[in-house]
Amino acid sequence: LLADSPEVSVADRSEFIAQQTRSVDIILLMVQILLALAILIAVLGIVNTLALSVLERTRELGLLRAIGLDRGQTMRMVTVEAVVIAVFGALLGVVVGASLGAAVVRALQDQGITDLALPWTQMATYLVLAGVVGVLAAALPAIRAARTNVLHAIAYE
């Protein structure tokens, strides 16, 4: 009946649902790409923060090494610091994101959006990946901290 009207399309229920799902999937893909870019920027920020931290704490690291802290413990100290920064940032992001999602669902209840679905496994995966990213981001600053010459670090000012 509508073959002569190209501006109108006819679809059954399953086709309509598939069409709407495709558009939501595209939006979700775009959000995940933006999340990946944000994670990349966060990794660079963690590396930068740790590098500056090691540079600023040169004397402290030298004193710790002088009283018995070995290279492995120094690397572990910097790595734990990076993991704490990364996991705290990821946890804060998950909590803020879930809260904003709940607020959006509540605001759009009049428009038929009533269910809040939180992807718990995906959020847990992001938290675990934040820890792994923290360990990877700490590699170069931790090596630099471990290679610090004790005598030069104590005399550093």
Q: What is the pLDDT of residues 56-95, one digit of tens each?
A: 888 888 899 889 889 999 999 999 999 999 999 999 999 9
Cα distance between residue 118 and residue 32, in whole Å: 15
Query: Token digits for 10?
Result: 């006819």
| Residues 98-103, mean pLDDT to the nearest whole number | 94
* Beta-carbon contacts of residue 116 (< 8 Å; ≥ 6 apart): 101, 102, 105
- More confident of the two residues 3 and 131: 131
What local confidence, expressed as pLDDT, does residue 95 receive? Answer: 95
Confidence of residue 150 (pLDDT cuts 50, 70, 90): confident
Asked whether residue 104 carries a pLDDT value surpassing 70, the answer given is yes
Asked whether residue 3 carries a pLDDT value surpassing 90, the answer given is no
pTM of the model: 0.77
| Residues 28-45, mean pLDDT to the nearest whole number | 90
Asked whether residue 110 carries a pLDDT value surpassing 80, the answer given is yes
- More confident of the two residues 14 and 103: 103
End-to-end CA distance of the chain: 85
| Residues 144-156, mean pLDDT to the nearest whole number | 85
In 10 A of CB 138, how many CB atoms?
Answer: 26
